[in-house]
Copies of this chain bind each other. A is one copy, B any other.
Amino acid sequence: MAPGLLVTSHVPLPEQVYHKVRRAILNGFFAPGQMLRQEEVAARLGVSRSPLREALPRLEAEGMVVLHPRRGYAVTSLDPAEIGELFDLRILLEAELARHAVERRQAHDVARVRAILAEMSDPKLLITGESRQGWFALNNRFHDALLEPGGHRHHLRALENASALIEPYIRMETNLTGDLRQAQQEHSGIADAFAVGDPVRFKCLIREHAENTRTRLLIALPGACSVPR
């Protein structure tokens, strides 16, 4: 066999830990500003500190946590100005990706978007509570499915990075208002434009979707700011 051809697809423990901690931050289980005590987090995940200590630097590189030397890692806490900047970055990258994605999309890409959208409209996912996490998981897959067809891995990585940083706050807002209907409506308009292949309309709707999310968020934020340092 040719050297370097690995047969077994093995997911390293540090990577599993990375995903679990990341999800916990995204859904607010670890709140902005909260210190992450390594022994406690590792114990909760049933691993030792070693793999955790390899997962945390990745989260730090993405800006999800910050390291206070000799004090530990804390979940990143963003002020409204930074959240605004991240929305700008998201919009900038989405516009660029949207252009290429519409051009290069194929039939199966459209089908995938429609399938995800159908899953998301399940009323069970729309009620407030734990099921919201399911909706947000689908929401991320929906946005990915719209923008992945154009390729551009590095743009996508930058976008997912920026989006992840603001996601905890977006989830806070939807938990407060409990209203996903506007998002749902905008999604279906976006999916239509994607299916039709109208690049101008698609870009525009994607942009408006982000702008609307930002507006709602920055209005609701002051009330949601329970940021333990």
Chain A: residues with CB nearer than 8 A to chain B? 4, 6, 10-12, 14, 18, 53-58, 60-63, 67-71, 82, 85-86, 88-89, 92-93, 96, 151-155, 157-158, 161-162, 165, 229
Q: Which residues of B contact A96 (CB under 8 A)?
A: 88, 92
Are B152 and A85 in contact, with the CB atoms below 8 A?
yes
Copies of this chain, tallied across the complex: 2
Contact of A58 among B60, B70, B85 (CB under 8 A): B60
Contact of A70 (CB < 8 Å), options: B10, B60, B151 = B10
Q: How far is the CA of A157 from the CA of B63 in the complex (A)?
A: 10
Residues of the B chain whose Cβ atoms lie less than 8 Å from the Cβ of A158: 89, 158, 161-162
Q: Is the CB of A89 within 8 A of B155?
A: yes
A33, B6: Cα distance in complex, Å: 16
Q: Bound state CA distance, A62 and B57, in angstroms? A: 11
Among candidates B61, B68, B165, residue contacting A154 with C-beta atoms closer than 8 Å: B165
A161 to B58 Cα, complex, angstroms? 14
